[in-house]
């Protein structure tokens, strides 16, 4: 019996997402961020080097740990900036333009951060999905998982496995529709994460609407 061929998933989309989070932080005023604006992108850039090195060397455990550290850092930074933003609202020290720009930046950051978590945690993570070859079980029921064998062969998806873009699409839907659209959620941890993401997204959308009304 032969094993399914290992499908090597490109990691650059996930790396670009984390770098984009660091870049979006530059849009925040200093009062709404910890340290200088360039600090987060510098930290992410430095940590991505050993993360990529560990993947190239086949050090899966080290790569996984560094990935968790990276994602945790950008998550904590996002939550802290959001807390500062909400606290700044009643003080009216920031200009409406800064508040709107900050809320927009955090809304996009929210999508990228949670897409990274879904991608990193689902079905044991990207490396476990690669070794498994075919994605048949996980926290999310993707449409490709519901196709029969003949349909999969016709679509060339017999060895299909979700990539970062699939989780990015899922996170985008959660932040816009406040719910999954084409991919039902199956596990408890994923439901909790999606509730948190939707709450953050809803908070920033309400903030944007409130400031827009005040400006008008």
Per-residue model confidence as pLDDT tens digits over 35-87: 888 999 999 999 999 999 999 999 999 999 999 999 999 999 999 998 888 88
Residues in the chain, total? 216
| Residue 31, domain member (yes or no) | yes
**pLDDT tens digit string along 111-154?**
999 999 999 999 899 998 888 878 888 899 988 888 777 766 76
**Would you say residue 189 lies in a domain?**
yes
Owning domain of residue 198: 12-215
pTM over 0.85: yes
Nearest Cα to 35, choosing from 44, 25, 24, 45?
25
Q: Is residue 106 part of a domain?
A: yes
For the chain, the 3-state helix, strand and coil shares in percent, each to the nearest 5, are: 70, 0, 25
- Is residue 37 domain-resident? yes
Tell me, yes or no, whether 72 lies in a domain.
yes
The answer to whether 68 touches 117, Cβ cutoff 8 Å, is no
Residue 118 lies in a domain: yes
| 5 part of a folded domain | no
117 backbone dihedrals φ, ψ, rounded to 5°: -65, -45
Task: Give me Rg for the CA atoms of the chain.
Answer: 19
Task: Answer whether 19's CB lies under 8 Å from 100's CB.
Answer: no
State the total domains in the chain. 1
Tokens of 192: 């909790």
- Would you say residue 4 lies in a domain? no
CA distance 102 to 208: 10
Q: What is the DSSP letter of 124?
A: G
């Amino acid at each position: 019996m032969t094993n399914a061929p290992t499908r090597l998933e490109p990691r650059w989309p996930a790396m670009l997402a984390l770098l984009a989070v660091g870049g979006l932080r530059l849009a925040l005023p200093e009062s709404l961020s910890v340290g200088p604006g360039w600090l987060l992108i510098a930290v992410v850039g430095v940590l991505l080097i050993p993360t990529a090195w560990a993947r190239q060397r086949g050090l899966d455990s080290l790569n996984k740990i560094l990935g968790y550290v990276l994602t945790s850092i950008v998550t904590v930074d996002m939550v802290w900036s959001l807390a500062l933003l909400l606290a700044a609202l009643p003080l009216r020290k920031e200009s409406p333009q800064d508040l709107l720009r900050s809320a927009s930046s955090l809304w996009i950051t929210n999508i990228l951060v949670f897409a990274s978590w879904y991608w990193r945690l689902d079905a044991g993570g990207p490396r476990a999905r690669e070794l498994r070859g075919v994605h048949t079980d996980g926290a999310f029921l993707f449409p490709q998982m519901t196709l029969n064998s003949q349909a999969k062969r016709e679509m060339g998806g017999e060895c299909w496995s979700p990539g970062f873009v699939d989780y990015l699409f899922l996170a985008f839907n959660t932040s816009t529709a406040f719910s999954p659209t084409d991919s039902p959620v199956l596990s408890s941890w994923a439901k909790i994460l999606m509730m948190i993401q939707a709450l953050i997204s809803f908070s920033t959308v309400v903030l944007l609407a409130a400031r827009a009304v005040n400006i008008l």
